Amino acid sequence: MRKNRLGHSDLVVSEIGFGCMSLVKGKESFNQEMIQKAYEAGVNFFDTADLYQFGWNEEMVGSAVKDFRKYIILATKVGNRWTEGKEGWDWDPSKTHIKQAVKDSLHRLQTDYIDLYQLHGGTIEDRMDETIAAFDELMDEGVIRYYGISSIRPNVIRYYAEHSRIVSVMMQYSILDRRPEEEMLDYLHDKNISVIARGPVAKGWLSERALTRDDEDSYLNYSGKEIKDIVKQLQERFNSIPVNQIALKYALAHPAVAAVIPGASSIRQLTANIDASHVSPLTKEDVLWIQERTKADVYNAHRS
């Protein structure tokens, strides 16, 4: 498994990570098997969040990785506060919440440090300097090794890139969502801040399964029919390489991207994701060919 350094940190992550949000409550043995198989296949980057299943996901991940904890990069997220018995959650990037939430995450994860602690969102209205101060204090105390943000908002990303010690930005990026290419990928690469690409297979649309879906379904600004045409073209050009693996390689083609974190709901999907690590990187010609057949877009919202 190829590994990449995360920004200016000393964290070295497998290019194919494991998005733990796909773990299913009530299937603990199966979840344990998935995580164990991923680790044995060379995956060392596991990403969760305190919000996923309101803390249960962290508990599951912590239990599953405890025997090899020191050999992996464990990432989680903070910023969404929920109250027992209350439906939904509230956005809270305050220092008070972050410094309490990290203690709760450490307990659920059965660890005494977090490798990568990420702000789970962010708006331009936040008191961002207060949030940055909280992360800096946790880093200086050794509670977290490094921090990043998980955001698609260009104005928020730029503020953190200019005013904090973030080493990564997690953002949605795929063949069907090329918005980060317009202004974020080169910018972050120049700042030595890595991108972690979530949604690289676009909720399963970038796979052979797309051909069985309804033409009237949609994903972002693509119709099901448009996506099916793209998938067929990918099949023709890349022949024996599965479409989902081409999708992962596309997201990894830009030097800013250190890792992709596809989810998996079966051993078959997990294996297919991991097998992408054995596929040669896309050439510049391959990338250009894909871009000529898909839509370049920009983030029109989330502006100052």
Q: Catalytic site residue 39?
A: no
Contact 38, 270 (CB under 8 A): yes
The first and second tokens of residue 86, run together, are 């209350």
Instruction: Report H helices in 121-276.
Output: 128-141, 154-163, 179-183, 185-190, 224-238, 243-252, 267-275
Closest-CA residue to 259 (of 14, 60, 54, 59): 14
The first and second tokens of residue 208, run together, are 């052979």
Question: Looking at the DSSP assignment, which residues form a beta bridge with residue 195?
Answer: 169, 257
User: Which residue among the candidates 52, 159, 160, 173 is catalytic per the annotation?
Assistant: 52
DSSP state of 218: E
With b meaning 16 or more CB within 10 Å and e meaning fewer, what string describes 124-134?
Answer: eebebeebbeb
Contact 48, 57 (CB under 8 A): yes
The first and second tokens of residue 286, run together, are 């391959």
Q: Give the active site residues.
A: 52
